[in-house]
């Protein structure tokens, strides 16, 4: 991986003299994604928005699409939609054009402070844009499983810049002290990591102290080729969950290439990950490394339908990188076979259709190992490792503007994502890369979102899942960190819910008011039922500024 870093740094130095225009990305959890879902469905045939399964999404693509939506004569936009489009332009001033000057505040403080409502510091000149904003999240949490007052305390800064429309960069840094709900604390201790952040230090006996640092640089290598290098998250899919690559885990070092031409979009991403580890509390230590490569090719033909092919491989080598996987062209499985097939490779297909400008249906099929012979036998052969997702989004439900419904189901067979080499399992920083519930599950998700007025947000979410529980210290395929050669039964007998099926439920109600741009006052109520245990309830109240919501739905 060191040679990748060296090449990347060298290219970053040379690239500004070669590129034409590039953009930073819209970070996950931003309110823009609620509008993106609606506009993609309403516009139906927009070949750029139809590639929105790649997140974080390109800011320039986003703003260009906002222009097409605003000028679309037959597009039915509500008052709230138009407000959201206006505020989204304000949050992307580097690409909003001269007409965005009317969005700027007349009373700026010291010229550049609060010059516009979206930025604490904003500099916007012909060849230079700079945005700097504080990050703040203060949440008080009450959990009926403890008498202790719990909380989330996050402070930090986010900055992004565009130089001469050639070179863009983003940096995000927060320092966090957290005392989460009891079930989250227990999982953090068991997994030895904080979801979304990774490494932590003990804080006041029952809390966690950790940094969340991300950053990347973006540039064009050619007219249709975007490159980025940095340390950040990645999400590949149209659903609430992703079976290919999710963003609930820790950030990672990456080199990303995106090719978009005609109706095609191709992503090639090389990553350095952290293999599973046991913390040494007595001294600092270097955590073991592993690597992954992801390729995804999608085509938007006809315009209402988007089809995709996915492949990835996870591997580890003592003190070396496997250069066969650097080839950006697909067919990683062939490369894996050429080196002796010791690594963990996957393939998948996905599809999305926008229908009647009101609905979207989507699906993912993830294949780890798949043999039709054993499927027909119906004996529960352990090696049939696959996952399936199906979902639907419906906007303006029952004719109510900005009332949107999403339904989704995810089925993941036992042992999917695991491997005989525990370094090569589909994990990073002791967290699952794809689905946070790992494997051997059937999950059902329902989300109802409503924005009754420009500054008000309401969401109700219900997640129900059945998981097969590994019992008596034996491996029945739920824990993807285990060597799949240590399975409890030799070959057959592995079905969904094997050996003991546990039913679980998580319900959440969220209400928020956007007091100032990107500054939310919000409250959450949660109910959680795990197997035969009593129902656990917890609630939170607080403020959030320029940061995504903390979710506890795993």
Answer with the residue of higher pLDDT: 211 or 373: 211
Is the CB of residue 180 less than 8 Å from the CB of residue 188? yes
Return the minimum-mean-pLDDT range out of 101-105, 172-176, 267-271.
101-105
- Asked whether the beta carbons of 433 and 427 are under 8 A apart, the reply is yes
Q: For position 542, what pLDDT does the model report? A: 98
**Nearest-CA neighbor of 26 among 194, 168, 175?**
168
Question: Is pLDDT of 321 > 80?
Answer: no
Write the DSSP symbol of residue 124. Answer: E
Burial track 102-138 (b if 16+ CB lie within 10 A, e otherwise): ebeeeeeeeeeebbbbbbbbbebeeeebbbbbebbbe
Any idea which residue has 């990774």 for tokens?
198
Closest CA to 539 of 523, 522, 525, 521: 525
Q: How confident is the model at residue 10, as a pLDDT?
A: 45
CB 315 within 8 A of CB 325: yes
pLDDT above 70 covers a percentage of the chain that reads: 90
**All structural domains of the chain with their residue ranges:** 2-545
Among the listed residues 431, 452, 357, 538, the one whose alpha carbon sits nearest the alpha carbon of residue 199: 431
SS3 397: helix
CA 49 vs. chain centroid, Å, equals: 17
When pLDDT is cut at 50, 70 and 90, the band that residue 15 belongs to is: very low
Return phi, psi of residue 89, to 5°: -60, -40
CA-to-CA dists, residue 497 to 2, 353, 471, 478, angstroms: 43, 31, 12, 9
Residue for token pair 């695991």: 418
**421-430 confidence digits (pLDDT tens):** 888 899 999 9
Rounded Cα gap, residues 403 and 56, in angstroms: 24
Confidence of residue 7 (pLDDT cuts 50, 70, 90): very low
Residues with Cβ < 8 Å from 149, sequence gap 6 or more? Answer: 140, 141, 142, 179
Q: For residue 499, how far is the Cα from the chain centroid?
A: 31
Comparing 335 with 161, the larger pLDDT belongs to 161
Confidence at 14, pLDDT banded by 50, 70, 90: very low
Mean pLDDT of 26-50: 94
In this predicted structure, the answer to whether residue 294 has a pLDDT above a threshold of 70 is yes
Burial profile 153-192: b = 16 or more Cβ within 10 angstroms, e = fewer: bbbbebbbbbeebbbbbbbbebebbbbbbbbbbebbeebb
* 3-state class (DSSP) for residue 501: strand
The secondary structure of the chain in percent helix, strand, coil, rounded to multiples of 5, reads 20, 45, 35
Mean model confidence pLDDT for the chain: 89
Q: At what angle do helices 79-90 and 59-70 cross, to 10 degrees?
A: 140
- What is the pLDDT at residue 117? 85
Confidence of residue 339 (pLDDT cuts 50, 70, 90): low
Nearest partner of 414 among 436, 439, 381, judged by Cα: 439
Question: How confident is the model over 365-382, as a mean pLDDT?
Answer: 87
Q: Please choose, from the candidates 538, 543, 539, 508, the residue with its C-alpha nearest in 3D space to the C-alpha of residue 522.
A: 543
Q: Rounded to the nearest 10 degrees, how much is the dihedral formed by the CA atoms of 426, 229, 157, 450?
A: -60
State residue 81's pLDDT score: 97
Contact present, 71 and 114 (Cβ < 8 Å): no
Catalogue the E-assigned strands of 94-166.
Answer: 113-116, 119-125, 128-143, 150-163
CB-based burial label for 496 (10 Å; 0-12, 13-18, 19+) = middle
Dist CA 516 CA 461 (whole Å): 25
- What is the distance between the terminal CA atoms of the chain, rounded to a whole angstrom? 32
The answer to whether 238 and 296 are in contact (CB under 8 A) is no
* 110 confidence band (pLDDT: 50, 70, 90): low
What angle (nearest 5°) sits at the alpha carbon of residue 57, between those of residues 455 and 162?
Answer: 95
- Return the pLDDT at 18: 45
491 CB-near residues (< 8 Å, 6+ apart): 381, 382
Q: Is the pLDDT of residue 260 over 80?
A: yes
Distance CA 166, CA 143 (A): 49
Residue range 119-135, pLDDT digits in tens: 999 888 888 999 999 99
Contact by Cβ (8 Å): 57, 36: yes
* Residue 497 DSSP code: T
Asked if 95 contacts 59 with a C-beta cutoff of 8 angstroms, the reply is yes
What is the percentage of the chain residues whose pLDDT exceeds 90? 68
Q: How many CB atoms within 10 Å of residue 216? A: 21
Find, among 334, 333, 337, 330, the residue nearest to 309 by Cα: 330
The CATH number that domain 2-545 falls under is 2.40.160.10
Residue with tokens 């390109």: 58
Neighbours of 283 (CB within 10 A): 5
Q: What is the pLDDT of residue 316?
A: 82
Q: Scan for tokens 């102290």, then name that residue.
A: 209
Among 272, 282, 314, which residue's Cα sits nearest to residue 420?
314
Q: At what angle do helices 32-43 and 79-90 cross, to 10 degrees?
A: 120
Q: Which residue has the tokens 């138009």?
A: 82
Average pLDDT over every residue of 222-235: 93
Structure tokens, 538: 């917890």
Q: Look at 4-8, 442-446, 510-514, 517-521 and tell me which has the smallest mean pLDDT.
A: 4-8
Question: Smallest Cα–Cα separation from 16: which of 171, 161, 169, 220?
Answer: 220
């Amino acid at each position: 991986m060191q040679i990748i870093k060296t090449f990347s740094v060298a290219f970053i130095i040379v690239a500004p003299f070669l590129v034409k225009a590039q953009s930073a990305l819209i970070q996950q959890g931003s309110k823009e994604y609620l509008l993106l879902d609606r506009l993609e469905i309403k516009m139906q045939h927009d070949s750029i928005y139809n590639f929105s399964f790649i997140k974080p999404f390109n800011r320039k693509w986003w703003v260009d699409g906002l222009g097409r939506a605003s000028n679309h004569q037959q597009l039915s936009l509500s008052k709230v939609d138009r407000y959201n489009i206006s505020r989204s332009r304000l949050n992307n001033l580097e690409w909003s054009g001269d007409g965005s000057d009317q969005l700027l505040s007349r009373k700026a403080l010291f010229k550049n402070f609060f010059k516009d409502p979206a930025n604490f510091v904003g500099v916007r000149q012909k060849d230079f844009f700079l945005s700097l904003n504080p990050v703040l999240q203060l949440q008080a949490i009450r959990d009926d499983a403890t008498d202790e007052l719990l909380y989330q305390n996050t402070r930090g800064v986010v900055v992004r810049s565009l130089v001469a429309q050639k070179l863009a960069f983003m940096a995000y840094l927060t320092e966090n002290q957290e005392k989460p709900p009891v079930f989250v604390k227990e999982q953090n201790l068991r997994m030895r990591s904080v979801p979304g952040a990774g490494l932590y230090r003990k804080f006041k006996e029952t809390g966690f102290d950790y940094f969340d640092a991300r950053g990347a640089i973006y540039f064009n290598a050619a007219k249709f080729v975007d490159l980025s290098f940095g340390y950040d998250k990645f999400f590949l899919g149209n659903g609430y969950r992703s079976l290919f690559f999710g963003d609930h885990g820790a950030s990672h070092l990456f080199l990303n290439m995106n090719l978009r031409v005609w109706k095609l979009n191709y992503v090639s991403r090389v990553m350095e990950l952290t293999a599973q580890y046991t913390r040494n509390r007595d001294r600092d230590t270097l955590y073991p490394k592993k690597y992954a490569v992801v390729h995804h090719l999608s085509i938007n033909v006809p315009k209402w339908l988007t089809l995709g092919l996915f492949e990835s491989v996870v591997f580890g080598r003592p003190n070396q990188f496997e250069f066969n996987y650097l080839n950006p062209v697909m067919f990683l499985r062939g490369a894996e076979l050429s080196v002796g097939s010791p690594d963990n490779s996957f393939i998948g297909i996905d599809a999305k259709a926008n229908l009647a400008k009101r609905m979207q249906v989507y699906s993912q099929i993830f294949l780890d190992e798949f043999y039709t012979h054993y499927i027909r036998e119906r004996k529960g052969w352990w090696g049939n490792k696959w996952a399936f997702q199906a979902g639907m989004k419906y906007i303006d439900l029952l004719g109510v503007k900005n009332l949107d419904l999403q339904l989704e189901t995810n089925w993941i067979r036992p042992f999917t994502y695991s491997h005989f080499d525990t370094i090569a399992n589909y994990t990073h920083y002791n967290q699952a890369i794809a689905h946070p519930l790992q494997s051997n599950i059937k999950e059902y998700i329902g989300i109802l979102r409503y924005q009754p007025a420009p500054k008000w947000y309401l969401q109700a979410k219900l997640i129900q899942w059945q998981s097969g529980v590994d019992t008596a210290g034996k491996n029945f395929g739920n824990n993807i960190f285990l060597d799949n050669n240590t399975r409890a039964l030799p070959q057959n007998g592995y079905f969904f819910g094997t050996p003991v099926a546990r039913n679980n439920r998580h319900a959440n109600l969220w209400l928020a008011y956007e007091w100032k741009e990107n500054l939310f006052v919000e409250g959450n109520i949660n109910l959680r039922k795990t197997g035969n245990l009593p129902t656990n309830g917890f609630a939170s109240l607080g403020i959030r500024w320029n940061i995504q919501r903390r979710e506890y739905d795993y």
